[in-house]
Amino acid sequence: MRPFTSTIPLDEARRRLDAAVRPIARTERVTLDHAAGRVAAADVTSPLDVPPFARSAMDGYAVIAADTTRATKTAPARLRQLDRIYTGQLSSVTVAPGTCAEIATGAPLPSGADAVVMVEETAKAGDTEIQIFATATAGQNIGRRGADITAGDRVVTSGDVLSPSRVGALAAIGCVDIEVFAKPRVAILSTGNEVVEPGQTLAPGQIFDVNRFTLGAIVAAHGGAPEPHRPAQDTVEALVEALDACAHADLVVFSGGSSVGERDLVVDAIAARGEMIFHGIAVRPGKPTAFARVKGTPFFGMPGNPTSCLSNAYILLVPFLRAIARLPPPAPRTVQAPLGRRIVSAAGRHQFYTVRLRDGVAYPAFKGSGDITSLSQADGYIEIDADHSVVEEGAMVVVTLF
């Protein structure tokens, strides 16, 4: 056994991680239907006005506003209809004094007209005569050309996350594809002689690989491209070989092998290929978490226990990954609730304690670091700082929701 000689506080671990962030510089082009959630790598300006023509904002009649002066229900203006204009077509007529054109919402305004009267303020009187019951003003119910976007306007700025509305703005200017920052490639690998792939037959003493899948899911949800690898055996040679196989990645994440047992050899593999930045954090669960650089590539050594691994993935890996992916920091939703049962925490360690919410009350859900249901059956977690060891039943706590 090689016990930890020291651990660093959680805030210090976060500081070192922040200092190690190198935002991804690699870019690629993606089609617009694959752009949502990506980060723009270049400014995009509009080559045209949007809309590219003046258009009606109502179903009704395109008129000359001066023809409707003093029009009322009892003394309507009477105009002759020249045309019926639908969306997607231009009218060949010119609206002259005393005339009008029926027009649909979104249809191009005909030449000569300067207002639209909505259909509810009109009535037909014969085949071509239209009665107007309200006075119109110039520009009324008209969307002017370029009212939304003017040619030369910047629609997207480099670094913008492409939300649905930004994707819509790109579509409005006829954009087909866009240059975005590449998703960081994240190599994920579990270690341990006992770990086997799901689908295989478990031999005595073996367990299915859990962490590769939980880590892959969390990476995919936060801007990364997970690249799973087969489990590595508990030898320095196997771990070094696994590190070399992951050398192409932008980020490497191993689980297991980072604790204090004689077969916890990730530290030795890192020594052979890179530089350890920290190993051991004063948190629970997840004390054995390590962070290093392997030939310039950031490396996370996560605990092998599923709850410890996934918990510290939420707390440490996600903010780091989002930063290198150029995404904004995570902003989880929180709620306040009374605690349903007394919790005793380990003194001197910052604890993340999972809870279930039932009828507005937060009940402890943590079973043990090796139990994935400590998280899968939880709605979120509370934090208990290192200076406190007990949280009493009924105390109001802040629950960070998963």
Reading the chain (402 residues) residue by residue, the pLDDT tens digits are 455 567 899 999 999 999 999 999 999 999 999 999 999 999 999 999 999 999 999 999 999 999 999 999 999 999 999 999 999 999 999 999 999 999 999 999 999 999 999 999 999 998 999 999 999 999 999 999 999 999 999 999 999 999 999 999 999 999 999 999 999 999 999 998 888 888 888 889 988 899 999 999 999 999 999 999 999 998 999 999 999 999 999 999 999 876 555 556 888 899 999 999 999 999 988 888 999 999 999 999 999 888 889 889 999 999 999 999 999 999 999 999 999 999 987 777 888 888 999 999 999 988 766 667 778 888 999 998 888 888 999 999 999 998
Q: Give the SS3 label for residue 263.
A: coil
Query: Could you tell me the CA-to-CA distances from 365 to 356, 359, 376, 390, 392 in Å, in that order?
Result: 6, 15, 9, 16, 16
Q: Give the SS3 label for residue 354.
A: strand
pLDDT of residue 1: 47
Please tell us whether the domain made up of 55-143 is placed in CATH 2.170.190.11: yes
Backbone angles phi, psi at 45, to 5 degrees: -110, 155
Q: pTM score, two decimals?
A: 0.86
Please tell us whether the domain made up of 10-25+183-324 is placed in CATH 3.40.47.10: no
Fold for domain 27-50+147-181?
Molybdopterin biosynthesis moea protein, domain 2 (3.90.105)
- As a whole number of angstroms, the longest Cα–Cα distance in the chain is 99
Going by their DSSP bridges, the two strands 350-358 and 44-45 should be labelled as unpaired
**Under CATH, which number does the domain 334-401 receive?**
2.40.340.10
Domain segments of the chain as ranges: 10-25+183-324, 27-50+147-181, 55-143, 334-401
